[in-house]
Amino acid sequence: MMEILNTKELSFSSQNTQIVQGVNLIIEEGQTTALVGPSGCGKSTLLKLIAGLIIPSTGEVQYRGRNIISMNRVQNLEFRRESAFVFQDSALWANQTLLQCMELPLKIHFPEMSAEKRRRRIDEVINTVGYKRSLMIRPANLSMGEQKLIAFGRAMLCSPKLLFLDEWTESLDDHAAHRLISLVKQQKLHNNTIIFVSHNIGIIRELADNIILLVEGRIHKKMTKEQIMSDQDLTELLEKGLA
């Protein structure tokens, strides 16, 4: 398989606290990788570092051989178009309508697209994730579960090849969570690369090809899908506070 992401001695500290420490990780194209571990171990921070949303204190992240931080504008736009991030708190703009939140990625990456085509694409994605209400309201009018649906839909707009998912099924009822898990499975079938954070052992066992166990900001263990299915490895994950 071809390498798509490579972290080299990746570290991050904030307010004199070391959050991620010396992470070396290779992500292969088409693979689904779960970042797991106890609360506060640095999973979400590592995910944002790999996605280029946080500048590392030391080390680097390479996307297809290029350091994300030193990309020029054209290269960075290409990376952003090919990737998408679903935040744990949804990260919708509070002072804009849902339609405006959804339109922005299309306006940035496909400036030639007409308003009519943008709306058709948005409606298509919204229907896929199962959101039923108006797009003319603001995020404050939504439940957290509805915000998650919109956030996931926004991530799908540009048909990304690389998905970063941070606890993307939290706050969803079983029906909505199952729908989004099914959509992630479809991304896997299209050979897209997925990196996700989850505390849900069922989702991890169902989706992950590889599992990275973090403890205190360091990689404690790397596992394949076959290994996590064994009782011994599952017991270790539970002992480390995963569930």
Q: Tens digits of per-residue pLDDT, 116-152? A: 999 999 999 999 999 999 999 999 999 988 999 999 9
3-239 homologous superfamily: P-loop containing nucleotide triphosphate hydrolases (3.40.50.300)
Domain boundaries, the chain: 3-239
Q: What burial class does residue 95 get, using C-beta atoms within 10 Å of its C-beta: 0-12 exposed, 13-18 middle, 19+ buried?
A: exposed
Structure tokens, 182: 């099914």
The average pLDDT across 203-214 equals 91
Amino acid letter for position 84: A
Using one digit for the tens of pLDDT, what is the confidence trace for 40-95?
899 999 999 999 999 999 999 999 999 999 999 999 999 999 999 999 999 999 99
Using one digit for the tens of pLDDT, what is the confidence trace for 178-198?
999 999 999 999 999 999 999
Using one digit for the tens of pLDDT, what is the confidence trace for 142-151?
998 899 999 9
User: Does pLDDT of 242 surpass 70?
Assistant: no
Say how far residue 237 (Cα) sits from the centre of its chain. Answer: 21
Backbone φ and ψ for 231, nearest 5 degrees, come out as: -65, -35
User: What pLDDT is attached to residue 199?
Assistant: 85
The average pLDDT across 204-229 equals 87
What rounded mean pLDDT belongs to the chain? 92
User: What pLDDT is attached to residue 243?
Assistant: 44
Q: Is 233 helix (H, G, I), strand (E, B) or coil?
A: helix
The average pLDDT across 151-165 equals 96
User: What pLDDT is attached to residue 216?
Assistant: 92
> Can you give the pTM of this predicted structure?
0.92
